[in-house]
Amino acid sequence: MKTIRLDINGIVQGVGFRPFIHKLVNDYDIKGWIKNTSSGVLMEIQGQDKSLINFIQDLKLKSPKLSVIENLKVKEIENTKIYQDFKIIKSSSDKEKFTLISPDACVCDDCLRELFDKNDRRYKYPFINCTNCGPRFTIIKDIPYDRDKTTMKEFKMCKKCTEEYGNINNRRYHAQPNCCFDCGPGIYFIDKEGNRIDKEPIKEAVNYIKEGKIVAIKGIGGFHLSCNALNGEAVNNLRKRKHRDEKPFALMGKNIEIIKKWCFINEYEEKILTSYRRPIVLLRKKDDKSFGYVSMDNRYLGFMLPYTPVHYLIFEEDIDVLVMTSANLSDFPIEYKNEEALERLSSIADGFLINNREIYVRCDDSVIREFNGREYPLRRSRGYVPYPIKINKNIGKILACGAEQKSSFALSRNNYIFLSQHIGDMKNIETFDFYMHQIKHFQNLFNIKPDKIACDFHPDYMSTEYAIKKSKEEGIPLCFVQHHHAHMASCMADNNLNKDVIGVIWDGTGYGIDNSIWGGEFLVGNYSGFKRLGTIRPIPLPGGDKAVKDIYRIGYAVLYETFKEIPEDFRFYEDYLAIEKMLCKKINTPYVSSIGRLFDAIASIINIRQKVTYEGQGAVMLENISEKTQEYYKFKINDLNDIFEFDWTYVVEQIVDDVRKNALPSIISSKFMNTLIHSCTDIVERIGKLTMIKDVVLSGGVFQNMYLLPEIKGQLKKIGFNVYCHSRVSTNDEGIALGQCLIAYHGGGVKCV
Ligand code: ZN
Ligand code: ZN
Ligand code: FE
């Protein structure tokens, strides 16, 4: 007989962990006790040596779906007393309240079985849930995680539900959102005329969808706008009403077989799709032409599987694929409150499938890509947040304010970093409000009062303004972090690296330390600082922000830089003379060293696109038309006072030649991207020789490009570098806050006040 102490950290509260243990100890004839602590659970258990070993193994293997064991410490202690039974004892109150909170989880198999069991008391109940599934983060107002502190507070559990809740052998033991027809929230439909329909609301919604209408459906973290994805007219209608010209819509497929009809799915993608997090997964279309009106020229479709009981009930009604796009007016955050949704979406939706379970915080669907068998997040939100990123260093309490586009923030607590959900582009006061509220909410949830703030070095970002104000008001030191340094640090932290690296940071735009705009950078350094050792020849942007939308201006600009004039056969618009003048006199023409803008220029020159509706569209289009080829353009690397500069003018010359020879845009696009790949390896190789550094991190929005990413990674590995990519946070600006935290901790900011 032996006695041991088990100290378990992670998500082990509110996820059915103690009942699971209760059952498991019986299997192994183990006695003792278990209790919740501030960071997990503590157990003292007694039993035969062998059964203790097997018990621990089982505990790790079979632990409840939503639980996460971060750390399990085993310590043998003396047999001072003999336990007669196993008890759950009262939690010890710790000095500091702090627990991890589970993200929202899709409805589990057990609940699904009941949902469709005619004899079950929750047959077709749209809010069925249990300890293993259901809403969490989006309904929690405060901790500890008790029903009282969630939006389920107003629903008093009925007798039967209370019994389930209190019975340790029941799978709804301590399931805070537990409810049923008798005591829980209800669902109803509101038609175009504003009539409330309580009888068979789901059938009503499905009828609307089948008729080609658009329905707003309330979900876990907000409303979706939905229509039949196989009805092109309905989808086009939605596009028009939403004023969304080209950005692809997300789809929800009835089951994995339905998705396989349209897309290729490998084993990893299937795993991500079916995980309880239920993100949108970008999948390669089987036929490039299918769902043209959903994803335009895109070769990928964003698919997810149903995740709420309501979704499953909808798909029961003979529907295969739904458009499920976040319900918001363009650039505004997702709608999540009934009243506001009814008002603001009235011009888009023909009807509303709505319920009276309040959503406390917004949380958009996550978007994930698979790369090398791992997740490659593009948007880390529902199902992931607020699960922390764990790093191998205690960095204390820091607030990192993120960037501006795809904004997010991070709050650290020792070696946990809590990244916010998707906030959106900070273009309006609503988004900014959402951002500020979430910072407050996270600070409260995780009991973090930061003693340092980090923000982007860009003086005009709203997040920077916020950081400056907060730092002043609360007397907290502030650290300004260079944008691409933050990208680099983010990828380092994502991979738990703490050494000198070469960072290839390619993105749209970020504020450089020389006060110009960067975006095609080769940095060397670590969390404490960096040096810029490589970049690309700066691109003039005639008209500044205007050129980011009217990308033909960037096309003109690179042509002008190359030929000192805009060649006659490339004057796509009448205003070429005016723009030539701007370029010649450098009027309102900032210079940016951005790969994103170089993509825009090439998209314009090969005339696949002259104006874009969202940032980065030029790059997306080039990726989509590309064909695999080995060819590339000759290029030149200038060596300017210790900075290697990729000079694209030679490439532009050759592209113009190719265009004049009527080469296919698909071939030019691939040759251009191959050139980027070769120039990248060339510059990294030179920097490697200079610095003897062998580790390379790849970060920045351009690395969402699945033509470039695998090739650059592969080529660099071939010449002996260790190459690291993102797998826990996004490679775009959403992931920046993580890097800001680490840099602020190490005092690596550009400026600190
Ligand atoms: Zn369940
Ligand atoms: Zn009930
Ligand atoms: Fe960026």
User: 451-486 pLDDT, tens per residue?
Assistant: 999 999 999 999 999 999 999 999 999 999 999 999
Would you list the DSSP string of 454-490? EEES-TT-HHHHHHHHHHHHHT--EEEE-HHHHHHHH
Q: How far is the CA of 702 from the centre of ligand 3 (A)?
A: 9
Give the ligand with the smallest distance to the CA of 125: 2
Alpha-carbon distance of 93 to 391, in angstroms, equals 26
Give the ligand with the smallest distance to the CA of 129: 1
Residue type, 114: E
Q: How far is the CA of 504 from the centre of ligand 3 (A)?
A: 12
Quick: pLDDT tens for 421-455: 999 999 899 999 999 999 999 999 999 999 999 99
Contact 79, 1 (CB under 8 A): yes
Give the ligand with the smallest distance to the CA of 133: 1
Prediction pTM value:
0.95
Contact 502, 523 (CB under 8 A): yes
Give the ligand with the smallest distance to the CA of 164: 2
Quick: pLDDT tens for 70-85: 889 999 999 888 999 9
Residue indicated by tokens 């009027």: 587
- Specify the higher pLDDT residue, 90 or 555: 555
Pick the CATH number of 502-724 from 3.40.50.880, 3.30.420.40, 3.40.930.10, 1.20.1050.10: 3.30.420.40
Is pLDDT at 97 greater than 80 in this prediction? no
Residues 594-599: what's their mean pLDDT? Answer: 96
The confidence band for 91, taking pLDDT boundaries of 50, 70 and 90, is confident
DSSP state of 537: -
Alpha-carbon distance of 332 to 340, in angstroms, equals 12
Fold assignment, 187-355: DHBP synthase (3.90.870)
Quick: pLDDT tens for 230-241: 999 999 999 999
Query: E strands of 538-687, at which residues?
Result: 539-540, 591-594, 636-640, 643-647
Q: Of 437, 379, 598, 430, give the one whose Cα is nearest residue 506.
A: 598
Q: How far is the CA of 186 from the centre of ligand 2 (A)?
A: 12
Q: How far is the CA of 162 from the centre of ligand 2 (A)?
A: 7
Q: How far is the CA of 58 from the centre of ligand 1 (A)?
A: 21
Q: HEC string of 346-386?
A: CCCCCEEEEECCCCCCCCCCCEEEEECCEEEEEECCCCCCC
Q: How far apart are the first and last CA of the chain?
A: 60
Q: How far is the CA of 155 from the centre of ligand 2 (A)?
A: 9
Alpha-carbon distance of 534 to 295, in angstroms, equals 36
Alpha-carbon distance of 424 to 221, in angstroms, equals 14
Residue type, 447: N
Give the ligand with the smallest distance to the CA of 740: 3
Using a 10 angstrom Cβ sphere, with 0-12 exposed, 13-18 middle and 19 or more buried, the burial of residue 266 is exposed
Q: How far is the CA of 171 from the centre of ligand 1 (A)?
A: 8
Q: How far is the CA of 184 from the centre of ligand 2 (A)?
A: 6
Give the ligand with the smallest distance to the CA of 171: 1
3-state secondary structure (DSSP) of residue 413: strand
- Domain range 2-88, CATH architecture: 2-Layer Sandwich (3.30)
Q: Of 685, 677, 683, 684, give the one whose Cα is nearest residue 631.
A: 677
Residue indicated by tokens 């080769």: 522
Contact 726, 458 (CB under 8 A): no
Residue numbers annotated as active site:
18, 36
The confidence band for 93, taking pLDDT boundaries of 50, 70 and 90, is low
Is pLDDT at 17 greater than 70 in this prediction? yes
Fold assignment, 101-185: DHBP synthase (3.90.870)
Q: How far is the CA of 138 from the centre of ligand 2 (A)?
A: 21
Q: How far is the CA of 106 from the centre of ligand 1 (A)?
A: 8
Using a 10 angstrom Cβ sphere, with 0-12 exposed, 13-18 middle and 19 or more buried, the burial of residue 503 is buried
- Specify the higher pLDDT residue, 373 or 144: 373
CA dist 22 → 88, 168, 173, 333 (Å): 8, 8, 12, 43
Strands 452-456 and 478-481: parallel
CA dist 260 → 167, 228, 367, 377, 622 (Å): 41, 18, 18, 21, 26
- Residues ≥6 apart with Cβ < 8 Å to 175: 16, 129, 130, 131, 134, 164, 165
Within this chain, domains 2-88 and 187-355 share the same CATH topology: no
Give the ligand with the smallest distance to the CA of 106: 1
Q: How far is the CA of 700 from the centre of ligand 3 (A)?
A: 5
Alpha-carbon distance of 473 to 565, in angstroms, equals 52
- Tell me whether the omega of the peptide bond preceding residue 386 falls within 30 degrees of 0, making it cis: yes
Is pLDDT at 12 greater than 90 in this prediction? no
- Residues ≥6 apart with Cβ < 8 Å to 168: 18, 19, 22, 88
- What does R_g of the chain's alpha carbons equal in angstroms? 27
Kindly list the domain boundaries of the chain, sorted by start residue. 2-88, 101-185, 187-355, 395-495+733-752, 502-724
Residues 585-597: what's their mean pLDDT? Answer: 95
Average pLDDT, the chain: 94
Q: How far is the CA of 485 from the centre of ligand 3 (A)?
A: 10
Alpha-carbon distance of 226 to 214, in angstroms, equals 6
Query: E strands of 262-307, at which residues?
Result: 280-284, 300-304
Is pLDDT at 222 greater than 80 in this prediction? yes
Q: How far is the CA of 358 from the centre of ligand 2 (A)?
A: 18
Residues constituting the chain: 753
CATH number at 395-495+733-752: 3.30.420.360
Give the ligand with the smallest distance to the CA of 491: 3
Quick: pLDDT tens for 297-330: 789 999 999 999 999 999 999 999 999 999 998 7
Q: How much is the pLDDT for 94?
A: 61
Is pLDDT at 715 greater than 80 in this prediction? yes
Residues 713-725: what's their mean pLDDT? Answer: 98
Quick: pLDDT tens for 258-298: 999 999 999 999 999 999 999 999 999 998 888 888 887 78
3-state secondary structure (DSSP) of residue 272: helix
Q: How much is the pLDDT for 188?
A: 98
Using a 10 angstrom Cβ sphere, with 0-12 exposed, 13-18 middle and 19 or more buried, the burial of residue 403 is buried
- Residues ≥6 apart with Cβ < 8 Å to 424: 331, 332, 333, 406, 407, 431, 434
Q: How far is the CA of 467 from the centre of ligand 3 (A)?
A: 18
Q: Which of 374-383, 407-416, 517-526, 614-623 has the lowest mean pLDDT?
A: 614-623
Q: How much is the pLDDT for 95?
A: 62
Give the ligand with the smallest distance to the CA of 122: 2
Q: How much is the pLDDT for 670?
A: 97
- Residues ≥6 apart with Cβ < 8 Å to 178: 129, 130, 157, 161, 164, 165, 172
3-state secondary structure (DSSP) of residue 10: strand
Alpha-carbon distance of 372 to 659, in angstroms, equals 35
Quick: pLDDT tens for 646-701: 999 999 999 999 999 999 999 999 999 999 999 999 999 999 999 999 999 999 99
Q: How far is the CA of 3 from the centre of ligand 1 (A)?
A: 34
Q: How far is the CA of 510 from the centre of ligand 3 (A)?
A: 6
